[in-house]
Amino acid sequence: LSEDEIVTAALELSASTPLERVSMRALAARLGVPVMTIYNYVPNKAALHELVQNRILADVVVPTTDAGPWDERMRVLQREARAAVARHVGVRFASGIAESAEATRLADGVLDILASAGFEPDDIPLAFTALFTFMLGQVEVDAMTRAASADRPVDLQMPTGVDPPVLDEAFEYGFDLLLAGLAAKLDHSRSRSPRR
């Protein structure tokens, strides 16, 4: 038994029940070990969730500076991050998002991209938070949609009938709104102080 096996088993179980409700007992059963054996590898459930989060985000790469214009790099990064989370059906990040080293790595990636784009130092935390907020909401919306279509075929939680197939498009749409707004701020601040 190893930490890796435990994380893998947790992810497997989270395909059929939300990770937050996978019990240590069920996890142990899956692994074929007594419950308390898990505690030799993982101090508690919160730590397990952090390990799972690290695993999920580990292979999201932050595009290097030479990979294109800042907004394209941002788009790629966010798209990949969202996909990595969405790939695991029962995973949600409601709490403790940045106790994980990988989440910090990605957040730093976003900050680097913003810095390389030339944003005013004052704007960087604001821009970061806007992108972070949207991303968090998107992960939540994705999870809600998956939960809804697991229960009943359709019947989404949005009143009009915003269909699930629209969701990828909606992500791009919303994200583009943010990026376009940020690009406009950048032009504006550049035209006011042309040097640097």
- The answer to whether residue 44 forms part of the interface with a second copy (CB under 8 A) is no
Exposed/middle/buried for residue 133 (C-beta within 10 Å: 0-12, 13-18, 19+): exposed
CA distance 99 to 22: 20
* Under 8 Å between Cβ of 131 and 164: no
Binding segment for DNA (CB under 7 A), chosen from 31-39, 117-125, 131-139, 144-152, is 31-39
Least distance (Å) between residue 18 CB and DNA: 12
Comparison of 45 and 79: residue with beta carbon closer to DNA: 45
Comparison of 15 and 158: residue with beta carbon closer to a second copy: 158
Alpha helices, H only, the chain: 3-13, 24-31, 35-38, 45-57, 70-86, 101-117, 123-151, 166-192
Residue 2: how many CB atoms within 10 A of its CB?
Answer: 8
Site string for a second copy, 172-191 (x = CB under 8 A): -xx-xxx-xxx-x-------
Total residues contacting DNA by CB under 7 A comes to 17
Least distance (Å) between residue 181 CB and DNA: 42
End-to-end CA distance of the chain: 55
> Where do contacts with a second copy occur on this chain (CB under 8 A)?
92, 94-99, 104, 107-108, 111, 124-130, 132-138, 140-141, 144, 147, 157-162, 166-167, 169-171, 173-174, 176-178, 180-182, 184
